[in-house]
Structure formats: C-alpha cells, structure tokens
Amino acid sequence: MGNLYFLSLGSGSSGNCYYIGTNDYGFLIDAGISSVRTRKYLKKYNISLEQIQGIFITHDHTDHAKYAGILNTKYGIPIFTTKRIFYGMQRNRNLKNPPTFCNFIHKNETVQLRDFSILPFPVSHDASECMGFTFSFHNKNFTIATDLGFINDFAAQQISLSDYLVIEANYDEQMLENGPYPEPLKNRVKGTHGHLSNHTTATFLAENWNGKLKYIFLCHLSAENNNPRLAYQTVFNKLQNKDISPHFLAPLDRLTPSELFIL
Ligand SMILES: [Zn+2]
Ligand SMILES: [Zn+2]
C-alpha cells in the first residue's frame, strides 16, 4: 500500500509550497518559492523534480503561483488548476514566466492521478478564484485549506473527512487590531474573502471534532500579526477545553522547510 509523505517547503506571504507523495512520486501544491529552493529542499529527501507529477495551484496570488511558470516551462511539470485561476496567473505581472500550458480542473470534480484522487473545492478568498484540495490515497485523506475568509460548507465537509489537515491560522485577532496594518488592509485580512484567524480555526476544529483527524498543520501564519507559539496555543487551548488532544498539532514555519512527515 505504501506510505504517504508530506513536506512543507514554505508557508506564508513570502511563499507557499507543499509536497505530498509516495515512495516513488508526488505532487506540489502551490509554487510560491523559487525553483532553485524547491529543488534543493526536495533533494534533501532524495526527491527529484522529475518525480513531481503535477503542481496544483490554489489561487493566482503571487505567494502561491510565482514560480509555477518556471517549473512548468523549464522542468516540464504539468500545472493543474481551474481556468479562472490559470488566466489570473497569466494576468499577474509579478509571476516569473507565466505558465503557458495547464490541465484545467473543475471545482467539486475529482481528478484521478495514479494512486491519488484529488478533489478541488472552492473557498472564499479575494483572488480570481481559490481552491482547497483533498488528496485521497488508499483511504487516507489529506486536505489543504489555505487563504480563506471563512470555512464554507465545502471546506467543512472536506475537513470532516480528513485524517490529515493543513489549515490556515493567519492572524491573532488582537495583534491584527493593534498592529501596523492600515485600516483597509486590516479589513481585507479579516473579511470573508481574506484569511482565517487563529481563533476562527481553533473554534471550528473544537466545535466540529469527530475524532478522525490525526495531524493538524497550521499554515500561512502572518509575520506581522501572528507568531507560531500563539497560533499553536490558541488551537491547543480550544481543543483542550473540549477534552480533545490531537495526535499531532504544529504550526508550519514561514521560511524553513518542515521535516518530511511519513503518514
Ligand atoms: Zn497567500
Ligand atoms: Zn491569497
């Protein structure tokens, strides 16, 4: 049956990229860090770019899509995303080499790639369109839900089916309120098309716990309005108040790759 592997190569506004794979091959979710670093971080675990079967792009913001074009054109890695996100990427002038070719996928329609079923589901965010993904591999479900203003029914449904979850914990509500951001930006971040706070994520997990979830990775932490300890503590405390102790809970570092998790 084989193991499932997960690695975070970077998480946050400086660049997002995650790896999910097997012993032989894998996928990237987002391409927000340079191809040089992507290659280097994967190589540490003897994973080569040739083993990457595709890059799934959540949305066309630069911190998620900047290097998709290079990985696509220079290394021949296929891109999988929706039409809207793809055209959004082509319009985004901050991307290095916009991608020229894409396998279009559709929200709420499963894609079958080798041993994986991958379901893109829509989330609420201020990009051309934004997707979360559930990667299903031999009855294991791994969901990534990043950059979302609130947890809609699609995301809630996928989270309820998941064994492993990467979920946004972008900001601490007080730090955002008292922090350096101008008022319109504060409103954007906390709006329904913005980002999830530690508190929202913590409350959702505590109130919808069904015992299936084993690993929780907190992602896309803000450098200005959050810190890893606070994100962890907020979620941990909310769960503990309900007598829930997850098997594994950890924030993902913004700039440093995680270890390679064997799931
Ligand atoms: Zn982002
Ligand atoms: Zn975004």
Contacts of 50 (CB under 8 A, 6+ apart): none
- Does the residue 213 lie in any domain? yes
Counting ligands in written order, the one closest to the CA of 148 is 2
Rounded to the nearest whole angstrom, what is the distance from the C-alpha of residue 214 to the centroid of ligand 1?
25
Rounded to the nearest whole angstrom, what is the distance from the C-alpha of residue 147 to the centroid of ligand 2?
5
CB–CB of 142/163 below 8 Å? yes
- Does the residue 247 lie in any domain? yes
The two tokens of residue 177 are: 């309120």
The two tokens of residue 76 are: 């021949």
Burial of 146 (0-12, 13-18, 19+ CB in 10 A): buried
Rounded to the nearest whole angstrom, what is the distance from the C-alpha of residue 240 to the centroid of ligand 2?
30
Counting ligands in written order, the one closest to the CA of 13 is 1
Per-residue pLDDT reduced to its tens digit, 137-179: 999 999 999 999 999 999 999 999 999 999 999 999 999 999 9
Q: What is the CATH number of the domain that holds 132?
A: 3.60.15.10
CB–CB of 214/246 below 8 Å? yes
- Does the residue 112 lie in any domain? yes
- Does the residue 260 lie in any domain? no
SS3 32: coil
Rounded to the nearest whole angstrom, what is the distance from the C-alpha of residue 54 to the centroid of ligand 1?
20
Rounded to the nearest whole angstrom, what is the distance from the C-alpha of residue 85 to the centroid of ligand 1?
14
Q: What pLDDT score was predicted for residue 133?
A: 98
Residue ranges of alpha helices (H) inside 58-117 are 62-65, 68-73, 83-91
Q: What pLDDT score was predicted for residue 96?
A: 84
Return the DSSP state at 252: P
Q: Please, which residues have CB less than 5 A from ligand 1, an ion?
A: 63, 147
How much of the chain exceeds pLDDT 90, in percent? 97
Rounded to the nearest whole angstrom, what is the distance from the C-alpha of residue 147 to the centroid of ligand 1?
6
Q: What pLDDT score was predicted for residue 240?
A: 97
Per-residue pLDDT reduced to its tens digit, 91-145: 999 998 888 889 999 999 999 999 999 999 999 999 999 999 999 999 999 999 9
Rounded to the nearest whole angstrom, what is the distance from the C-alpha of residue 149 to the centroid of ligand 2?
10
- Does the residue 154 lie in any domain? yes
Cα end-to-end distance, the chain, whole Å: 12
- Does the residue 258 lie in any domain? no
- Does the residue 263 lie in any domain? no
Number of domains in the chain: 1
Give the relative orientation of helices 198-207 and 228-241 as an angle to the nearest 10 degrees: 30
Q: What pLDDT score was predicted for residue 97?
A: 85
Counting ligands in written order, the one closest to the CA of 61 is 2
How much of the chain exceeds pLDDT 70, in percent? 100
Per-residue pLDDT reduced to its tens digit, 83-92: 999 999 999 9
Counting ligands in written order, the one closest to the CA of 64 is 1
- Residue 207 identity (one-letter amino acid): E
Rounded to the nearest whole angstrom, what is the distance from the C-alpha of residue 168 to the centroid of ligand 1?
10
Counting ligands in written order, the one closest to the CA of 10 is 1
Full domain range(s) for residue 190: 5-252
Please report which confidence band the pLDDT of residue 221 belongs to, taking 50, 70 and 90 as the band edges: very high
Counting ligands in written order, the one closest to the CA of 88 is 2
Q: How many CA atoms lie within 13 A of 85 on its CB side?
A: 32
Rounded to the nearest whole angstrom, what is the distance from the C-alpha of residue 243 to the centroid of ligand 2?
33
Counting ligands in written order, the one closest to the CA of 123 is 2
Q: How far is CA 78 from the centre of its chain?
A: 18
Checking if the pLDDT of 1 tops 80, the result is no
Rounded to the nearest whole angstrom, what is the distance from the C-alpha of residue 60 to the centroid of ligand 1?
9
- Does the residue 262 lie in any domain? no
Rounded to the nearest whole angstrom, what is the distance from the C-alpha of residue 222 to the centroid of ligand 2?
12
Rounded to the nearest whole angstrom, what is the distance from the C-alpha of residue 210 to the centroid of ligand 1?
28
Rounded to the nearest whole angstrom, what is the distance from the C-alpha of residue 119 to the centroid of ligand 2?
19
